[in-house]
């Protein structure tokens, strides 16, 4: 039977009328949202009805498929959830960068090892491409916990304390939900504040047992401490690598003595001494050659002569 040949990049699932999204379709979807973002069809972080109408029309034209607002919103929700896993892991870690060419997170092997020691789940991102990450950051970077629209627990506590006593306040379940949705963050949520009161911060007394609240607070603090530990470990490794590349391999006195042993005159020693300390890599080159050739290397590297 001679039916229509399916496009290998764009397919439709015939069952239940569901659309099967391919990487090409995902790219078109992200581009359509970015287009509306750049046009300003977004209010307080939410895309307008007009924006979704334009996105649907753009995808219909590009893909030649029947798409609607619900399909668009559901697919973007899935993409956003997947990209958020990578974003939330690496966004504050020193030493990591995302490559728009390879679509991979990259870092020195020592930095990867330090992260994997404290978070074994990070290993998969060494070889797992993260598509459309640059567009994701533009569209939703500020929506994450450290973005401009998030609130810290301290800010939430301050807002609640200014409300009238008989106004409804947030329960522990509501706080947990807001944390899970990245509407608030747990930054600064601790017992270092003189006026800190867990019950006040979480919305005052409620029907939830105090022990349950304490467990949730303790769990939240453990998560925050773990994140801080990861950050500190990564920063230490990155700092060590940076210092290792810039620190001279010999002390100042050892460099001076070496130059004297090579038979340089006083002016040459002074010039070579200052130059080699300023350029540790050049000093390593001198030390890496046979001792009988060091004078020749110094003259070439420092003075440009043999």
For the chain, the domains span 19-81, 151-246, 252-303
| Residue 138 in tokens | 């533009």
List of residues 6+ apart from 147 with CB closer than 8 A: 141
Place of tokens 């540790």: 280
Please provide residue 119's backbone torsions phi and psi, each rounded to the nearest 5 degrees.
-150, 95
DSSP notation for 28-70: HHHHHHHHHHHHT-EETTEE-HHHHHHHHHHHHHHH-S---HH
- Helix or strand run (H / E) with residue 12: strand 11-12
pTM score, whole prediction: 0.45
- Tens-level pLDDT at each residue, the chain (306 residues): 454 444 444 444 434 467 889 999 999 999 999 999 999 999 988 999 999 999 999 999 998 888 999 999 999 999 999 888 888 888 778 888 898 889 899 889 988 998 899 888 888 998 999 998 999 889 988 766 444 444 444 444 455 455 444 444 555 555 555 555 555 544 444 444 434 444 444 444 444 445 666 676 777 777 777 667 666 666 665 665 555 555 667 788 888 888 988 898 988 899 988 888 888 888 888 887 788 888 988 888 888 876
């Amino acid at each position: 039977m001679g039916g229509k040949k399916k496009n290998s990049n764009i397919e439709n699932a015939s069952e239940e009328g569901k659309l099967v999204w391919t990487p090409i379709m995902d790219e078109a979807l992200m581009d359509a949202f970015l287009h509306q973002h750049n046009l300003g069809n977004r209010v307080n972080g939410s895309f307008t009805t007009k924006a979704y109408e334009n996105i649907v029309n753009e995808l219909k034209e590009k893909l030649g498929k029947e798409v609607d607002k619900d399909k668009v919103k559901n697919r973007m929700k899935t993409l956003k959830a997947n990209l958020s896993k990578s974003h939330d892991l690496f966004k504050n870690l020193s030493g990591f960068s995302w490559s728009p060419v390879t679509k991979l997170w990259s870092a020195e092997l020592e930095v990867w090892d330090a992260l994997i020691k404290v978070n074994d789940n990070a290993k998969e991102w060494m070889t797992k491409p993260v598509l459309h990450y640059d567009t994701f950051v533009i569209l939703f970077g500020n929506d994450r916990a450290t973005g401009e629209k998030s609130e810290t627990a301290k800010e939430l506590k301050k807002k609640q304390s200014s409300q009238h006593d008989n106004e409804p306040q947030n329960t522990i379940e509501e706080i947990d939900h807001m944390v899970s949705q990245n509407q608030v963050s747990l930054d600064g949520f601790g017992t270092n504040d003189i006026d800190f009161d867990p019950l006040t911060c979480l919305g005052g007394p409620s029907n939830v047992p105090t022990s349950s609240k304490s467990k949730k607070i303790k769990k939240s603090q453990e998560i925050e401490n773990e994140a801080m530990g990861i950050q500190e470990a990564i920063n230490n490794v990155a700092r060590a690598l940076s210092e290792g590349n810039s620190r001279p391999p010999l002390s100042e006195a050892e460099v001076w003595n070496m130059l004297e042993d090579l038979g340089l005159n006083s002016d040459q020693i002074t010039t070579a001494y200052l130059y080699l300390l300023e350029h540790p890599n050049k000093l390593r080159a001198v030390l890496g050659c046979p001792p009988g050739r060091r004078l020749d290397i110094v003259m070439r590297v420092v003075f440009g002569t043999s």
